[in-house]
Amino acid sequence: MPAWWSRDNPVDWVAGSSPDTSFKAVETVLRCPSVDGVIMMSIMPALRLERLSASADEAARQRWANNLVPAVISAMERFNNLADKYQKPVVVASEQMFADAIQETRINYALGQQNLVCYHMPHQAAVVLSGLASYREYLERSGKQE
């Protein structure tokens, strides 16, 4: 990890993140035995999208928009694969991904079609992670298997 990477909770690698470093950072945290789950804030660094300059023409903007939904699906699948690999939840909350309302609806629909979810607000992700922790405690107390 880069020198500026925070080794405390919350982990914040601030600048220089890319799709590869985003997934490596989440995996590094998941490998830690004292970590029970991860809330990933902002999916944008994990997306494999071309950089879009402020001066981009309409064709470039449309190309970028067309690639947004598949990029979100791919990133969420990778986070789910990490969660499965380490048997720890990865809950994602992200901003609106620079999308308009129509594109945001397309993203949410595509995620739902794949049984994936990306929460819009951090508190929603925290509630989900808290619910998962409570459920785990319930299973342990009751002696039930997952």
For the chain, what is the mean pLDDT? 85
pLDDT digits (tens, 9 = 90+) for 26-52: 998 899 999 999 998 888 888 888 777
| Eight-class DSSP state of 43 | S
Q: What is the pLDDT of residue 88?
A: 96
The pTM is what? 0.82
Residues 6+ apart with CB under 8 A from 75: 19, 43, 46, 47, 48
Say yes or no to pLDDT of 82 above 90. Answer: yes
Between strands 38-41 and 90-93, the pairing is parallel
Total residue length of the chain: 146
Q: Do residues 63 and 53 lie in contact, with contact meaning Cβ atoms separated by under 8 Å?
A: no
Q: Do residues 69 and 106 lie in contact, with contact meaning Cβ atoms separated by under 8 Å?
A: yes
Cα(72)–Cα(113) distance, integer angstroms = 13
pLDDT digits (tens, 9 = 90+) for 92-102: 998 765 677 88
